[in-house]
Amino acid sequence: MVDASAQAVGKREAGYRAADMVADGMVVGLGTGSTVFFAMERLAARIREGLVITGIPTSFQTAIRARGCGIPLATLNDYPVIDLAIDGADQVDPGFALIKGRGAAQTQEKCVAFAAKSLVIVADPSKLTRKLDAVVPIEVLSSAYVPVIRYLKTIGGVPVLREGIKKDGPVITDNGNMVIDCGFGTIGDPTALDIHLSSIPGVVTCGLFTTFADKTTVVVGDSNGCQVLSRNGQFPL
């Protein structure tokens, strides 16, 4: 059982540490999720102290929060190469393969991660795992969700169309698409599965992030502070 209060402290510690990695004049990708909101809270304080940055949001929700924090915003079309992206993850393995997309923003998050020179993943210890085994969110065109679900079953997946909360019907992403949450059990080869899922006609993006490990740093926060992990360093599990 995860202690919710300790988890919140860990998220805040990780978010604040990531925000302190941002230097003046940087263009910064802003991920979607509760841990990144702590990073934006810290960035807002630094902006009040004189920090000058530009943020690239990965969702409508992030854009709304960032504006509330006083963070100036732009798009990837304005800045196709950005200095740093701060984002969260649903799971992180020792090779820094990730599962993302619980907030249904994985498509823009992947675009921002691709554009970033450096990717900082903020997490609490509950997100670390020896093997990825969480469901993989898959963004799919609404006109193709039935054949995609059918195909996922043939390759051993357990797909479920994500339903809205306080909304009748499926979740609709910021891009106007649907989300399929697909279980695969323990994922032996995340890279191969990432490539396979991304090649299915009708799939926009899957929530496996396996191509950014070389530029990724993971910041893990708990009640004792933060650990900054490197890919070739010790994994605290």
Q: What is the DSSP string of 186-197?
A: S-S-HHHHHHHH
Q: Which residues pair with 183 in a beta bridge?
A: 158
**Residues whose CB is less than 8 angstroms from the CB of residue 132 and which lie 6 or more positions away in sequence, other chains included:** 91, 93, 97, 99, 186, 187, 190, 208
Q: What is the mean pLDDT of residues 131-135?
A: 97
Q: What is the pLDDT of residue 234?
A: 73
Q: For residues 192 and 174, give the distance between their C-alpha atoms in angstroms, rounded to a whole number.
A: 27
Torsion of CA 102, 106, 110, 111, to 10 degrees: -150
Q: What is the pLDDT of residues 49-101, one digit of tens each?
A: 999 999 999 999 999 999 999 999 999 999 999 999 999 999 999 999 999 99
Q: Do 4-126+211-229 and 136-207 show the same overall fold? A: no
Q: What is the pLDDT of residues 207-230, one digit of tens each?
A: 999 999 999 999 999 888 899 997
pTM for the full predicted model: 0.93
Q: Tell me the CA distances in angstroms from 223 to 11, 14, 17, 102, one per residue in order.
A: 9, 10, 13, 24
SS3 call for 74: coil
Domain range summary for the chain, segments of one domain joined by +: 4-126+211-229, 136-207
Q: For residues 57 and 76, give the distance between their C-alpha atoms in angstroms, rounded to a whole number.
A: 9
Band of pLDDT at residue 166, cut at 50, 70 and 90: confident
> Is 53 within 8 Å of 71 (Cβ atoms)?
yes
Residue 39 counted as an annotated binding residue: no
Q: For residues 8 and 228, give the distance between their C-alpha atoms in angstroms, rounded to a whole number.
A: 18
Residue 29 counted as an annotated binding residue: no
Residue 89 counted as an annotated binding residue: yes
Catalytic residue flag (residue 41): no
Share of the chain above pLDDT 70, in %: 97
Residue 213 counted as an annotated binding residue: no
Query: In one letter, which amino acid is 65?
Result: R
Q: May I ask the CATH class of domain 136-207?
A: alpha beta
Residue 104 counted as an annotated binding residue: no
Q: For residues 14 and 36, give the distance between their C-alpha atoms in angstroms, rounded to a whole number.
A: 9
> Is 95 within 8 Å of 89 (Cβ atoms)?
no
Choosing from 41, 109, 139, 163, the catalytic residue is 109
Locate the DSSP E strands across the chain: 27-30, 54-57, 84-87, 91-92, 98-99, 119-123, 136-140, 158-161, 178-183, 203-206, 208-209, 216-222, 225-229
Q: What is the mean pLDDT of residues 26-32?
A: 97
Q: What is the pLDDT of residue 3?
A: 66
Topology of the domain covering 4-126+211-229 = Rossmann fold (3.40.50)
Q: What is the mean pLDDT of residues 31-47?
A: 94
Tell me the CB-side half-sphere exposure of residue 157, using CA atoms within 13 A.
23
Residue 154 counted as an annotated binding residue: no
Residue 3 counted as an annotated binding residue: no
Q: What is the pLDDT of residue 84?
A: 97
1 has a pLDDT exceeding 60: no
237 has a pLDDT exceeding 70: no
Q: What is the pLDDT of residue 185?
A: 98
